[in-house]
Structure 1
Amino acid sequence: MLRKFTAILLGLIVVLAFQAGSAFADSKLDTTIHKLIGIDYDYGGTTTDGFDCSGFTAYVFKKLGVKLPHSSQAQSEMGDKVAKKDLRPGDLVFFNTSGSGVSHVGIYVGDNKFAHSASKGVTISDLDEKYYATRYLGARRVMDSDTYEKAVAEVQKAAASKA
């Protein structure tokens, strides 16, 4: 009971902190990810009962109309390579957490942060956290322009016009 309460509280804190700094607040991508914050890690998991890293990314992208395989290695071979300095929300970011190539994946969400399912469950982390910074392998862009516009860019344009 205490673990569940702590997970919910932590999830709420992360959501509020993320919402304040999100580069794409209220977008379809943002909304989809926020609903999943705090869900437990489950090796092989692909549902809201629990996710592993590639199950999480495949689930989110399915909601956006993009089919991804349930494997971080296979996902790392899709789309186009993206330099770290050119990351945009929705790009997949890859890490070597096992010592033998791609073994972890997350979704870049802006402000140098990425959403992923880690041992603590679905959370938001910073690319500069020492653990992830030393294991970062690269990024891929798997959303075409139309999907990106529907999932992220329309909200960014609306926010920019209000500023």
Structure 2
Amino acid sequence: MRKWILPIILAGVLFGGTAVAAAAPAPGYNQFLQSLEAILAGAVMPVAAERQIPVFSPAIASRTALVVASARNLLGRQVVWGGASPAQGFDCSGLVQYVYRQAGVNLSRTADLQFMVGRTVAPADLQPGDLVYFSTYEQGASHVGIYTGGGKFIHTSFGQGIVAFGDMSDTYFVNRYYGAKRVL
């Protein structure tokens, strides 16, 4: 009975329910263990023929944390058109390219090309580390930032002249929002 308690409690925690220590039927137990192993390995569990639900992956979570932490460490750096390093300063896509490279992800150099990578994310589904795009000085994705949660993102603010927080609810950004992508 003891060998069943931890997997059942873990399943309850992972699936947001309450865990009850009870013996699972033998045929379903093997399937349960396979599902649990897949969850812990960061696999995608099939739900229906066309729909898949991504499950928690510790590797992705740590890379996401690294992206957000790296971006936060660059707050206050100088904004320079064409800049792509802490030494020279950053423009928006240079900041994103640099931060993601720290997490082992190579992205193109410009916002419009970066927008072509990753999965589209609805505004209500934004998670820290997602890239948010805006149409600012030209049509399409011409400005990019890194979403940090709570409606905030880190970007290059030419108005302030530094890498700074932006607010998704700011009228300027609301009127220019172009889309969001999840790269990790």
Unaligned runs of 5+ in 2: 1-61
Two-structure CA RMSD over aligned residues (Å): 1.4
Aligned partner of 2:66 in structure 1 is 28
Q: CA deviation at 1:39?
A: 0.6
TM-score normalised by L of structure 2: 0.62
1:128 to 145, 160, 169: 169
Equivalence for 1:139: 180
| 1-structure distance, mates of 2:145, 2:75 | 13
Give the aligned partner of residue 74 of structure 1: 113
Shift of 1:35: 1.6
CA shift at 1:34, angstroms? Answer: 2.0
**Runs (4+) of structure 1 moved beyond 6 Å?**
none
Q: Which has the higher contact order (CA 8 A, sep 6+)?
A: 1
Q: How far apart are 1:45 and its partner, in Å?
A: 0.4
Aligned residues with identical type, % of pairs:
41
CA radius of gyration, larger in: 2
Amino acid at match of 2:171: K
Cα distance in 2, alignment partners of residues 95 and 30 from structure 1 = 19
Map of 1:59 onto structure 2? 98
Distance 2:73 2:141 in 1: 26
More helix by share: 1
Give the total of aligned pairs. 118
TM-score by structure 1 length?
0.69
